[in-house]
Amino acid sequence: MSDRESATVFQVVEAMEYFKSGYGFHQDKKYMEAIESFQKCSSVNPFDEAHIKELIKKLKSGGFKLIQESIAHMGCAAEHLKFLMDELDEGDRQKIEIDDSLKEAFESWQ
How does pLDDT run across 48-60, given as a tens digit for each residue? 889 899 999 999 8
How does pLDDT run across 7-45, given as a tens digit for each residue? 999 999 999 999 999 999 999 999 999 999 999 999 999
Mean pLDDT of 54-67: 92
Average pLDDT of the chain, as a whole number: 89
pTM of the model: 0.87
Between 79 and 110, the higher pLDDT residue: 79
Angstrom distances, CA of residue 107 to CA of 98, 100, 104, 110: 13, 10, 5, 6
